[in-house]
Amino acid sequence: MKNILEIKNLKVNLKEENKQILKGINLEIKPGEVHALMGPNGAGKSTLAKVLFDHPSFELTDGRMIFDGREINALSTTERAQLGMFLAFQTPEELSGITVSSFLRSAYNALRKAHDPDFKEVRAFQFKKILEEKMAELKFNPEFADRYINEGFSGGEKKKAEILQLAVLEPKLAVLDEIDSGLDVDAMKLVSEGVNKLIKKGLSVLIVTHYQRILDYIKPDYVHVIIDGQIAETGGPELAKKLETEGFKLD
């Protein structure tokens, strides 16, 4: 089975400081696999997530990123999303005046148009049915669709909105950047349940997290520990348990 994502000897600098953050990252993810990336603050976890989506603060100085058989180094964020990549933010932005439903319909139509120039735009009444079905699957309140994107949302609601986007847009790979940040146990269970339903449908996932607790709900196939810009150790779910008790000081 071919990899959905390959990262080969990735080296990255923070432009503003001309400081090297990633120092030769190698990672392979196959379709349907769940990988967790853990490490202390400042190790490079979120940097990797941002670089995968062409964040302008970083400069790739060496290495290759290959998604679904295609090198993406030179592709824009939009082009990467069109290929089937998705980033769930640690702190999603508020978009006043734009409803969840309107935003998702625009994104849904844009993605399908990018793959098929003859695609006919799904109208509001048609998309409403699609969205209602996805919300029912995720056990989300239908009123959620009429609220402005993240405006007045609790931390849990913001993360739920991210998972709803995942469900509607149906990417091949989701990078979850500290999606457990700021969630209480009930919210974490609900968000995790939504992610797990999508994993069962074939979604590949890279979870970026500082804590082991989210991995009690979304079970990883592999856990990678990043220290000082390099992957220092890789193991199974038991590695996350070890880190929880022993910390990130690896032999």
pLDDT exceeds 70 at position 250: no
Pair type for strands 5-14 and 204-209: unpaired
Contact 98, 148 (CB under 8 A): yes
Strands (E), the chain: 5-14, 19-29, 34-38, 58-67, 70-71, 85-88, 95-99, 148-149, 173-177, 204-209, 222-227, 230-235
105, 120, 149, 166, 176 from 108: Cα distances, Å: 5, 11, 16, 11, 20
Token match 């880190």: residue? Answer: 243
pTM of this prediction exceeds 0.85: yes
CB neighbours of residue 100 within 10 Å: 24
Note the CATH architecture for domain 5-246.
3-Layer(aba) Sandwich (3.40)
pLDDT in tens, 55-87: 999 999 999 999 999 999 999 999 999 999 999
* Per-residue pLDDT band at 199 (split at 50, 70, 90): very high
Maximum mean pLDDT: which of 149-153, 178-182, 228-232, 237-241:
228-232
**Average pLDDT for residues 155-182, to the nearest whole number?**
89
**Rounded Cα gap, residues 186 and 177, in angstroms:** 19
pLDDT in tens, 138-165: 888 888 899 998 888 888 888 888 899 9
Residue ranges of domains in the chain: 5-246
Residues 6 or more apart whose Cβ sits within 8 Å of residue 50 = 57, 58, 177
**Rounded Cα gap, residues 25 and 9, in angstroms:** 5
Residue-level pLDDT at 13: 97
Give, as one character, the DSSP assignment of residue 27.
E
**Rounded Cα gap, residues 133 and 218, in angstroms:** 23
**Rounded Cα gap, residues 51 and 87, in angstroms:** 11
**Rounded Cα gap, residues 218 and 2, in angstroms:** 23
**Rounded Cα gap, residues 152 and 187, in angstroms:** 16
